[in-house]
Structure 1
């Protein structure tokens, strides 16, 4: 029996342009195989219908992926008015059809204003949320409806990019908090207008500090020489650049990596503040201020970067 390859101990962040038709996990696994990475994880799911920015973390970068899971997002979305589907998007079955009232950009802007700021959303049945250990989308496919608790999310901005009265569709640019379902937003906009709606296109343009400018497609990676692919990876600390830093000497770095507290210059930081710790240019990981002049390990890297 052939032995399974364990993969490389590769550390870094890839800004992947997820193609339509693949789940986030399928895109992740293809990227992991291309880089022959031993460990990988993504930073926020995208439905198979959706495209766009999917940051992929390799190796030690997975320790800090939660910061992108919690980050704000930006999307472009196309909403088709007049037709509702069971999934809220174009991959679902049509369940209702209604005439679309006469609309113009002024009328649509009045509707969109209702959704700016903090709102409540009911998560869709076609989602990865779980009920008694089973994803809701599995139950939905069996025709089972589960009561979902509304969630509070924030829509920082919704910009009407285009209104096409011939196709009765609108293109939106949406900046929102984590946990926002754009399919639910499409459904709710259709309900507010009184004609129903569903999502026909979704592209993620931004996640936290990362935007679409640095994205690479799987096709582009596949045609890149194997030896040159690693150059497209961002360093691990791009995930935690929002945190303040502290620098320690080599002896203190060794003690930190053994789980010990050490002395450091923390005069400008309060107790319990989390910091990025470096020894010179080497990222050690995250530490917390125990008290003035003392730091302790919080989430350190296993490898020396």
Structure 2
């Protein structure tokens, strides 16, 4: 008779910045890393399609409480758009449904068109997406030949930069708001150029202030020991790098962690004002003595600090 000893899961807290490879879904990437770190609790923020690569933050333990704040942040992508070919899904994984040889031969034509895509624009989410209708992802309806009416949504394109144009491939760097579908953007650019297009390549290179610089790929993580894997986690507050910061004394830290409202000291008010903080906003809160991250607080016009989300590491 054989006996198998079940290894206890590691209770760990922090963020791992994964460089997701081509062909792996975000969920499968999550499962793989969860297994490698033997982690008890893990989630991700900002889904990437299987054919897309790049920055995928994985949140462990208490970090999962704050993952939704990063989902709200701006995104940065590098994309290659294939002009002249339209596909069923808007990307390379779909069946080709149209060819058009009337591709622009001048980058100036494309530059004039791209002006129309700066600022606040509307998009209709694609059928081949993870958005749900009656609890079922839209892509499952699409695969069954069913089309669901989708609501128009507004997103913001802050900047589109042409990196290269080698006919028929247009390479762009895009800074956009949350909820932007680069596949839809590619198709819309193709429509406005009159030749059609689909997304050939997509790589997420940034989310808010997070970049690929500190990312690890799966092959590297596999070579690490379990200790090295866990040591690769970065602090939870990296998810909130765009938030203002305040520091509390030991006494006020305890009161904050007990959910009490606090009036800020003149010192903290000065720091916030100097940093350009806007009232009625959220801040990162730390213990001044040991710089321990305590959670997120909301500050009103009277500089009253209200706990919003707290960590439970004590």
What is the TM-score when the length of structure 2 is the normalising length? 0.89
Which whole-Å CA distance do the structure 1 matches of 2:134 and 2:293 have between them?
40
Are residues 110 and 263 of structure 1, via their aligned partners in 2, closer, same or farther at CA, if it must alter by over 3 Å? Answer: closer
Between 1:52-61 and 1:224-233, the stretch displaced more is: 224-233
C-alpha deviation, 1:146, in angstroms: 1.3
Which whole-Å CA distance do the structure 2 matches of 1:290 and 1:176 have between them?
29
Residues 106-125 of structure 1: matches in 2 within 5 Å?
106-125=108-127
Q: Which runs of 5 or more structure 2 residues have no equivalent in the other structure?
A: 273-277
Partner of 2:117: helix, strand, or coil?
A: coil
Matched, 1:276 2:288: no
Matched, 1:13 2:15: yes
C-alpha deviation, 1:111, in angstroms: 1.6
Are residues 263 and 107 of structure 1, via their aligned partners in 2, closer, same or farther at CA, if it must alter by over 3 Å? Answer: closer
Residue number among 283, 299, 302 corresponding to 2:309 in the alignment: 299
Deviations 1:69-113 (A, max 9, x none): 011111111111111111000101111122223421111111212
Aligned match of 1:220: 220
Which whole-Å CA distance do the structure 2 matches of 1:61 and 1:53 have between them?
17
Residue number among 259, 281, 287 corresponding to 2:297 in the alignment: 287
Matched, 1:255 2:232: no
- CA RMSD, Structure 1 to Structure 2 (Å): 2.2
Aligned match of 1:130: 132
Aligned match of 2:53: 51
What is the TM-score when the length of structure 1 is the normalising length? 0.91
Does structure 2 conserve the Cα–Cα contact (< 8 Å) formed by 1:82 and 1:190?
A: yes
Does structure 2 conserve the Cα–Cα contact (< 8 Å) formed by 1:247 and 1:264?
A: no
Partner of 1:41: helix, strand, or coil?
A: strand
Q: Which runs of 5 or more structure 1 residues have no equivalent in the other structure?
A: none
Does structure 2 conserve the Cα–Cα contact (< 8 Å) formed by 1:23 and 1:47?
A: yes
Are residues 150 and 247 of structure 1, via their aligned partners in 2, closer, same or farther at CA, if it must alter by over 3 Å? Answer: same
Does structure 2 conserve the Cα–Cα contact (< 8 Å) formed by 1:85 and 1:92?
A: yes
Aligned match of 2:245: 245
Aligned match of 2:78: 76
Residues 140-151 of structure 1: matches in 2 within 5 Å?
140-151=142-153
Which whole-Å CA distance do the structure 2 matches of 1:45 and 1:242 have between them?
21
Which whole-Å CA distance do the structure 1 matches of 2:135 and 2:285 have between them?
38
Partner of 2:146: helix, strand, or coil?
A: coil
Partner of 2:62: helix, strand, or coil?
A: helix
Between 1:181-190 and 1:263-272, the stretch displaced more is: 263-272
Between 1:100-109 and 1:143-152, the stretch displaced more is: 100-109
Residue number among 22, 28, 31 corresponding to 1:29 in the alignment: 31
Aligned match of 2:67: 65
